[in-house]
Amino acid sequence: MAIRYIDEIEDLREKKVFMRVDFNVPLDENQNITEDTRIRAVLPTINYALDFNAKVILASHLGRPKGERKPKYSMAPAAKRLSRLLGKEVTLAPDCIGDDVEKIINAMKPGDVVMLENLRFYPGEEKNDENFARALADNCDIYVNDAFAVSHRAHASVEAITKFFPDVVAGFLMKNEMNYFEKAMKNPIRPLVAILGGAKVSGKLEVLENLCTKVDKIIIGGGMAFTFLKALGYNVGKSLVEEDLIETARKTYNKARENGIKFYLPVDCVVADQFNPEAETKVTTIQEIPEGWMALDIGPATVTLFAEALQNAKTIIWNGPMGVFEMDAFSRGTFAMVSAVANSYALTIVGGGDTDVAVHRAGEYAKISYISTGGGAFLELLEGKKLPGIKVLEENGTK
């Protein structure tokens, strides 16, 4: 079954639209938003509803309050930023359920926007509690999921809530996410290249397993590369290695090769004598990592190798940095790869999280075809899983 989207609803006019969004944005110590991409990403869906004079009720979580009401996790900063971006007042409700919220929603005028307080102030959200979901849905007419980044979670505002609406649809952000994913994985223009980085193999084993039957090339960087390199017999010093996954890494590597997939690993790296931005560093080949030193970035020869591997790519999927890019001494490999991907003649799709941050810091954001708003959700799609939030949209979108 196909997902229905908000522009397929026959009549939005003056309806009360409950919209699940993901405004889980980073804050500084003064509760100021430091990066608002996730808020900006849903503006098209909000504005579409407002064009029909709908009454828009926005629901999100922020941080991990673990079912308790904690002021530092209030949605107030998000409501304030959204108000500025929309150019109109966004009312912050004192809660997300209850009599006071009901009064505010019933008093809404066409074109009003209300932001509910943090959903995760209630344990029922993460427990997918139906009573909590019913309370959220009360007094609303239409459900819209435009929160791809949490759609891999079976939470009350994502899954259980869909039982209590006659109309269940997705927003334009979700539409973009699904369309680009299908372009990359269901019917890609080849060669299709997957770049995987980050610290650990363990978080991406299922991704690798799935990609071994779908892509033409796999490029591995970041800390996870050193589990593979050790599996191939290299001495990697004190570099991060998941010892219990060495045999699994070896089998994954061999499976890719047996399937005719070109598998690229670093040939040199930037090593340090300690995990510290002030550490002594040098560039060495993989064969010459000194005993007691650790690799924290890919080296210049590896950047050249990986960039060459991208030359004929028509579709590129990337998730995970090439090194500890938060420290300047170990950022060059990741930023060089951002440039190589951004300047390729390919459809380029970047997974959320750290990779998104790296693309922004490198100043190449505008050159990437699509940057996903979801880290975990993006990875689970790459694993071939059906996300709970997507599944209920397919099942309930036609009722």
CATH number for the domain spanning 202: value is 3.40.50.1260
Could you tell me if 361 and 321 lie in one domain? yes
Angle, helices 332-342 vs 354-361, to 10°: value is 80
What are the percentages of helix, strand and coil residues in the chain, rounded to 5? 40, 15, 45
Residues 6+ apart with CB under 8 A from 217: 191, 192, 193, 194, 261, 262, 263, 264, 309, 313
Does a structural domain hold residue 268? Answer: yes
Could you tell me if 43 and 142 lie in one domain? yes
CA angle 378, 382, 384 (to 5 degrees): 120
Could you tell me if 20 and 134 lie in one domain? yes
Could you tell me if 219 and 100 lie in one domain? no
How confident is the chain (399 residues) per 10-residue block, as mean pLDDT?
90 96 93 92 98 98 96 97 98 97 97 98 98 96 96 97 95 95 90 94 88 94 96 96 95 94 98 94 97 97 98 96 95 97 95 85 92 88 91 78
Does a structural domain hold residue 170? Answer: yes
Helix (H, G, I), strand (E, B) or coil at 381: helix
Residue 247 carries which DSSP code? H
Could you tell me if 244 and 355 lie in one domain? yes
- What string of H, E and C letters represents the secondary structure of 65-123? CCCCCCHHHCCHHHHHHHHHHHCCCEEECCCCCCHHHHHHHHCCCCCCEEECCCHHHCH
Using alpha carbons, select from 327, 326, 234 the residue that is nearest to residue 279. Answer: 327
Could you tell me if 142 and 284 lie in one domain? no
Could you tell me if 23 and 78 lie in one domain? yes
If 0-12 CB within 10 Å is exposed, 13-18 middle and 19+ buried, where does residue 357 land? Answer: middle
- What's the pLDDT at 249? 95
The C-alpha atoms of residue 22 and residue 118 are separated, in whole angstroms, by 11
Owner of token pair 């090769």:
257
Angle, helices 332-342 vs 300-309, to 10°: value is 20
Does a structural domain hold residue 377? Answer: no
Could you tell me if 297 and 154 lie in one domain? no
Please give the tally of structural domains in the chain.
Answer: 2
Could you tell me if 106 and 142 lie in one domain? yes
Residue 231 carries which DSSP code? H
Residues 6+ apart with CB under 8 A from 244: none
Residue 27 carries which DSSP code? B
Q: Which amino acid is at 174?
A: M
Could you tell me if 117 and 19 lie in one domain? yes
188 prior amide bond cis, ω within 30:
no
Torsion 152-153-156-160 (CA) sign: positive
Does a structural domain hold residue 180? Answer: no
Does a structural domain hold residue 181? Answer: no
Range of the domain at 231: 188-368
Q: CA dihedral in degrees (321, 319, 263, 292; nearest 10)?
A: 30
The C-alpha atoms of residue 98 and residue 21 are separated, in whole angstroms, by 20
Could you tell me if 80 and 16 lie in one domain? yes
Residue 238 carries which DSSP code? T
The C-alpha atoms of residue 111 and residue 161 are separated, in whole angstroms, by 23
Q: Which amino acid is at 249?
A: A
Could you tell me if 277 and 329 lie in one domain? yes
Compute how many other C-beta atoms are within 10 angstroms of the C-beta atom of residue 305.
Answer: 17
Does a structural domain hold residue 255? Answer: yes
Positions marked catalytic: 38, 200, 353, 376
Does a structural domain hold residue 380? Answer: no
Kindly report the pTM of this predicted structure.
0.90
Does a structural domain hold residue 373? Answer: no
